[in-house]
Amino acid sequence: MAVDQSKLLARLLEITRNLGTMVDIETYIRSILSAAAELTGSETASLMEYDEVAQELYFKYVPWFHRDKVNSARIPLKESAAGWVFLNVKPLAIDDVKNDSRHYGKIDDLTGFATRSILGVPLLLHGRPVGVFEVFNKTSGNYSGEDITVLEALASLVTTAMQNDMLEGNAITSQNESRDLDRLKNEFIAITSHELRTPLGLILGHATFLRELVGEDYGEQVDAIIRNAARLKEIIESLSSVDNYQTGGARLRQRKVSVTRIIEDVTASFRDIALQKGVALKMGVKPGEDLFVDADGSKTAIVLSNLVKNAITFTNEGGYVIVGGEHQPGFVKVTVEDNGVGIPAKDLPHIFERFYQVESHLTRRHGGMGLGLSVAKVMIEMHGGRIWVESTEGVGSIFTFLLPVEMEKQEPDPDPVSPFVK
């Protein structure tokens, strides 16, 4: 007896909608087994998956009252109706199993279930069979083409649910692995930075002492030691700054500070470096304009120093770097503009990531570990601000950050007052 078409469509629509809200795949597929039996007029249904190692089928989902009995059962491909469906990748209807040698009767012996008729369709994933969906014992008449269509539609929902579950599982695994890697990376950075501080401090201290003793004969060699040790110290401080922010260990020394003063001091500190390279370093702040914010002056200076240093580094002789500042509603806006080499479009989304370096040939030429911009980003975000870049390769770049004029106070810091305090 054919199923009422409106009832059939309503039931299929219900199951399809449930796919979008599926929480537990086992519950969802069992609901499909129930629907398969109902819509094809069968007594029961089961779902088998293919074991690639054993090259056999096994029961993945069966009615609860058969579960324990067939838990370890295996169905051979060449001696069963399910195996025929799997190997031929097409539906099979057997209206009387007594007259068909493809019926695998051992499962009936295990369960005590008397199979009279079978309808099976392959489960297809990307066009490849991965299992078999079967219904048993048509209660009235023989299995029809309509029954095959219904079972194939339900089989498609099954494979979609299985694929969604697999993708979700892979995503969760990837997220867990990513978290573990981040944790290990942060632990390594924290431990390494801590362990390097003491020996590096000794190297710098003794090298500075020796510089005063050796005079000019070995001054160049000692200066090289001091210069490179200072560079290592800068790298360690950068690593620590990022790690402290990510682990919640960073603290801001909030005071009312003058961003104008910070721009003046940072610009002055890089003027000789810019002059040696032939780059014009200019200020773009209106004369007499005070740009006060509640911020950590030393950290803000580090941010601006990293941006100015990068701008000078990647600007060719004859170019310019302009450091500007202005008021915006609720914020102070600071820009570092250059007409240097610019940043390729493919690199723009990644330049604030830790250790990311733009263009390997530029890295080899200019050095660096890709930490300056990541440090700048985390320090600005600690203030509740935002930093971004606009750049065109071969034309130049504009790095911009916003600092809120007023921000929520953190715990008092007993450290000395910043040199940029008003």
Cα dihedral sign, 190-194-197-199: negative
Radius of gyration of the chain from its Cα atoms, rounded to whole angstroms: 35
Q: Encode 323-345: b = buried (16+ Cβ within 10 Å), e = exposed.
A: bbbeeeeebbbbbbbbbbbbbee
φ and ψ at residue 358, rounded to 5 degrees:
-85, 125
The H or E element containing residue 149 is helix 145-214
pLDDT given for residue 89 in this prediction:
94
pTM: 0.50
pLDDT given for residue 415 in this prediction:
44
Q: Is 213 helix (H, G, I), strand (E, B) or coil?
A: helix
Give the single-character DSSP code of 93: E
φ and ψ at residue 25, rounded to 5 degrees:
-65, -35
Q: Are 137 and 41 in contact (CB under 8 A)?
A: no
pLDDT given for residue 212 in this prediction:
80
pLDDT given for residue 247 in this prediction:
55
Q: Are 304 and 294 in contact (CB under 8 A)?
A: no
pLDDT given for residue 240 in this prediction:
66
Q: What is the pLDDT of residues 220-272, one digit of tens each?
A: 888 888 878 887 777 677 666 665 555 555 567 888 999 999 999 999 999 99
The H or E element containing residue 44 is strand 42-51
Per-residue pLDDT of the chain in tens (422 residues, 90 and over written 9): 455 666 766 777 777 777 666 667 888 888 888 888 988 999 999 999 999 899 999 988 887 667 777 878 899 998 899 999 999 999 999 999 999 999 998 888 888 889 999 999 999 988 899 999 999 999 999 999 999 998 998 898 888 888 887 777 778 888 888 888 877 777 776 677 777 778 888 888 888 888 888 777 778 888 888 878 887 777 677 666 665 555 555 567 888 999 999 999 999 999 999 999 999 999 998 887 889 999 989 889 989 999 999 999 999 999 999 999 999 999 999 999 999 999 998 989 888 887 666 654 454 454 554 577 888 898 899 889 999 999 999 999 999 999 999 876 554 444 444 444 43
pLDDT given for residue 324 in this prediction:
94
